[in-house]
């Protein structure tokens, strides 16, 4: 059962407004509705059925990403990042790889940020429930050829590697390419609808206005151009690590909001093999964790357009390779960055300005990551390796890796990230936390954050499972302290 999609209207009212419908917003809306709250979900993007777009295609980027998938955190160098902008948020467009919340990281967060009531056993139980709800599983049968490349190269080098499970269902006798993503539009949003939650899409919340101690007015604008308002008692802001702090700042909330953006910067390269390896609408499920948590290797989406993008930094020399795209796949090296960035809402601009600064240690890790990734792929049988930085050399033999290492510079590389966190860190340390231990924005009444913004720093793995676990924990605390009548 899909949510009841409401038509644009000048005025709506609800007990709880949930802004955003990704990993944080969908779980928030679901649990609140199932507990008896009157819930309205406001989603800035459209509802797009999964089967109507090809995964990782240019059409999907146009329909389900913000700005067509091209947004940039300014810096030296700048870092491109992606945001899902549709019902289900990033869960509709990401790789679907699942990592349980890293206990050692969460324990450090609890200590350093003074997060009250953070029970590690509770988070583990929540993770069990999430994994059942979204059907976390490994691929039946053999992985794709592009994934096998990572396994084969790591095995040859003696590096730690494993298959990462995904939230997928597979038909009987299915294989790696027959899975159906168990995103929020297939799991938690239908549950929310069954419990009575309503949803309005193509609806942007521009500003939250607090009116007294028990009333919030959300000023909204629709894709049609209509403007209106949604009145509520509580507002859960779940727009992601960029849009959540931007909305809070536009609403006059700025203390420790948007000042501590953390990401996992990545460098990429394309590799050509003797046989066909490219599966355009899937991603490799193997990852190499020999140097984790500082450095990890994996495979990217390799739609022909994305292969061309990976070759574009030295197009004059690499362009001819695109004709052989079926034998080419794209891979990445991701680091756990010590750098930080800012999200700044500027009056008169629709989107915030985002900046990010890498540390010298980050730059050294990215250089090491590019060279080690090239080595990994050569060991896996790559005939040609095309690093993604301006003026990069074509790599065909191990003895060319020293040249790669010498010529690489972060300032010449096409850096990107898909993991964005930490812009409203939670905790009781008011010298750096924008929200309390359960996501309530400090001194903001009924405004609560419940998405990746709350994670105190980038966890070193795909953060979605951690986001969902924290979101469910926070909602349960809210339910315990605020009954459906408002408490």
pLDDT tens profile 326-336: 999 999 999 99
**Sheet containing 216-222: order of strands:** 11-13, 227-232, 216-222, 203-210
**pLDDT 10s digits, 350-362:** 999 999 999 999 9
Number of Cβ atoms within 10 Å of the Cβ of 10: 9
The highest-confidence range among 63-77, 80-94, 382-396, by mean pLDDT, is: 382-396
Name which of 25-39, 53-67, 117-131, 141-155 the model is least confident about.
Answer: 53-67
203 forms beta bridges with: 222
In the predicted model, what is the mean pLDDT of residues 303-324? 93
3-state secondary structure the chain: CCCEECCCCCEEECCEEEECCCHHHHHHHHHHHHCCCCEEEECCCCCCCHHHCCCCCHHHHHHHEHHHHCEEEECCCCEEECCECCCCHHHHCCCCECCCCCHHHHHHHHHHCCCCCCCHHHHHHHHHHHHHHCCEECCCCCCCHHHHHHHHHHHHHCCCEEECCEEEECCCCCCCCCCEECCCCCCHHHHHHHCCCEEECCEEEEEEEECCCCCEEEEEEECCCCEEEEEECEEEECCHHHHHHHHHHHCCCCCCCCCCEEECCEEEEEEECCCCCCCCCCCCCEEECCCCCCEEEEECCCCHHHHHHHHHHHHHHHHHHHHHHHHEEEEEEEECCCCEEEEECCCCCCCCEEEEECCHHHHHHHHHHHHHHHHHHHHCCCCEEEECECCCCCECCHHHHHHHHHHCCHHHECCEECCEECCCCECCCCCCCCECCCCEECCCCCEEECCHHHCCCCCCCCCHHHHHHHHHHHHHHHHHHCCCCCC
For this structure, is 419 an active site residue?
yes
Each residue of 141-193: pLDDT tens digit? 889 999 999 999 999 999 999 999 999 999 998 888 888 999 999 999 999 99
Do residues 265 and 432 touch, judged by C-beta distance below 8 A?
Answer: no
State phi, psi for 416 to the nearest 5 degrees.
Answer: -150, 170
**What mean pLDDT comes out for the span 218-240?**
97
Specify the higher pLDDT residue, 484 or 290: 290
Q: Is the pLDDT of residue 213 over 80?
A: no
Which of 397, 419, 442, 477 is labelled catalytic?
419
Residues 236-243, mean pLDDT to the nearest whole number: 97
Which tokens go with 362? 């980050």
pLDDT tens for residues 377-424?
Answer: 999 999 999 999 999 999 999 999 999 999 999 999 999 999 999 999
Q: Compute the distance between CA of residue 1 and CA of residue 471 in angstroms, rounded to an integer.
A: 22
Q: For 261, phi and psi rounded to 5 degrees?
A: -55, 130
High-pLDDT (> 90) share of the chain, %: 85
Phi, psi angle pair for 236, to nearest 5° = -95, 115
Q: Was domain 4-47+89-134+183-257+421-481 assigned CATH 3.50.50.60?
A: yes
Closest CA to 337 of 15, 77, 38, 163: 77
Q: Is the pLDDT of residue 485 over 60?
A: no
pLDDT at 67 over 90: no
Phi, psi of 47 (to 5 degrees): -90, 120
Ordered by start, the domain boundaries in the chain are 4-47+89-134+183-257+421-481, 137-179+265-417
Average pLDDT over residues 113-131: 96
pLDDT interval class at 1 (50, 70, 90): low
Q: Are 226 and 8 in contact (CB under 8 A)?
A: yes
Contacts 24+ apart (CB under 8 A), 157-161: 157/290, 157/375, 157/376, 157/379, 159/288, 159/290, 159/376, 160/288, 160/289, 160/290, 160/292, 161/286, 161/287, 161/288, 161/289, 161/290
CA distances in angstroms from 101 to 121, 126, 292, 435, 468, listed in the order given: 11, 10, 15, 20, 9
Mean pLDDT of the chain: 94
Specify the pLDDT at position 487: 45
For 255, other C-beta atoms within 10 Å of its C-beta total: 13
| C-beta neighbour count of 163 within 10 angstroms | 16
Mean pLDDT (whole number) for 47-70: 84
Contact indicator for 474, 427 with CB cutoff of 8 Å = no
Looking at residue 303, its pLDDT comes to: 86
- Tokens for 112, please give them: 């350093």
Closest alpha carbon to 36 in 483, 487, 373: 483
Q: What is the pLDDT of residue 280?
A: 86
pLDDT of residue 175: 82
Nearest Cα to Cα of residue 92 among 223, 187, 7: 187
Q: Minimum mean pLDDT among 38-52, 451-465, 472-486: which range?
A: 472-486
The phi, psi pair for 169, rounded to 5°, reads: -120, 150
pLDDT beyond 60 at 486:
no
Indicate the pLDDT class of residue 69, thresholds 50, 70 and 90: confident
Rg value, the chain, Cα: 22
* Residues 93-103 pLDDT 10s: 888 899 999 99
When pLDDT is averaged across residues 243-253 and rounded to a whole number, the result is 97
Confidence of residue 451 (pLDDT cuts 50, 70, 90): very high
Residue 443's pLDDT is what?
Answer: 87
Contacts of 97 (CB under 8 A, 6+ apart): 164, 165, 166, 283, 285, 287, 298, 462
């Amino acid at each position: 059962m899909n949510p009841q999609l409401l038509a644009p209207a000048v005025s709506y009212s609800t007990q709880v407004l949930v802004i955003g419908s990704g990993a944080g917003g969908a779980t928030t809306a679901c649990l609140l509705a199932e507990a008896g709250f009157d819930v309205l979900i406001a989603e800035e993007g459209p509802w797009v059925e999964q089967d109507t777009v090809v995964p990782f295609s240019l059409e999907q980027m146009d329909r389900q990403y913000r700005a067509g998938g091209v947004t940039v955190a300014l810096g030296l160098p700048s870092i491109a990042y992606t945001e899902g902008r549709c019902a289900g948020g990033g869960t509709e467009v990401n790789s679907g790889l699942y990592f349980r919340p890293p206990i050692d990281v969460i324990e450090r967060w609890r200590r350093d940020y003074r997060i009250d009531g953070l029970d590690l056993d509770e988070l583990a139980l929540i993770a069990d429930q999430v994994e059942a709800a979204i059907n976390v599983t490994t691929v039946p049968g053999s992985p794709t050829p592009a994934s096998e490349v990572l396994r084969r190269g790591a095995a040859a080098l003696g590096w730690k590697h494993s298959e990462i499970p995904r939230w997928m269902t597979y038909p009987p006798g299915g294989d790696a390419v027959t899975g159906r993503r168990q995103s929020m539009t297939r799991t938690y949003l239908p549950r929310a609808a069954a419990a009575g939650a309503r949803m309005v899409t193509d609806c942007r919340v521009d500003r939250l206005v607090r009116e007294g101690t028990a009333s919030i007015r959300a000023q909204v604008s629709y894709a049609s151009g209509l403007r209106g308002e949604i009145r509520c008692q509580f507002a859960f802001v779940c727009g992601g690590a960029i849009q959540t702090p931007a909305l809070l700042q536009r609403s006059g909330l700025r203390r420790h909001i948007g000042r501590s953006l953390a990401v996992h910067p990545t460098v990429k390269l394309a590799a050509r093999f003797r046989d066909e390896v490219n599966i355009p609408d899937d991603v490799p499920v193997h990852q190499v964790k020999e140097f984790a948590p500082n450095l990890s290797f994996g495979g990217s989406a390799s739609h022909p357009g994305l292969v061309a993008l990976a070759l574009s930094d030295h197009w004059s020399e690499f362009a001819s390779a695109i004709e052989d795209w079926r034998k080419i796949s794209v891979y990445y090296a991701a680091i756990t960055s010590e750098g930080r960035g800012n999200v700044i809402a500027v009056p008169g601009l629709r989107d915030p300005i985002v900046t990010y600064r890498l540390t010298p240690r980050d730059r050294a890790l990215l250089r090491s990551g590019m060279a080690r990734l090239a080595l990994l792929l050569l060991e896996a049988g790559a005939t040609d390796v095309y690093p993604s930085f301006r003026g990069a050399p074509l790599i065909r033999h191990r003895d060319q890796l020293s040249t790669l290492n010498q010529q690489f510079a972060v300032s010449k590389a096409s850096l990107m990230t898909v993991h964005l966190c930490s812009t409203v860190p939670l905790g009781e340390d008011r010298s750096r936390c924008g929200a309390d231990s359960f996501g309530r924005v400090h001194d903001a009444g009924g405004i609560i954050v419940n998405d990746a913004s709350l994670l105190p720093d980038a966890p070193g793995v795909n953060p979605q499972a951690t986001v969902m676990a924290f979101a469910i924990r926070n909602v349960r605390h809210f339910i315990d302290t605020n009954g459906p009548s408002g408490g």
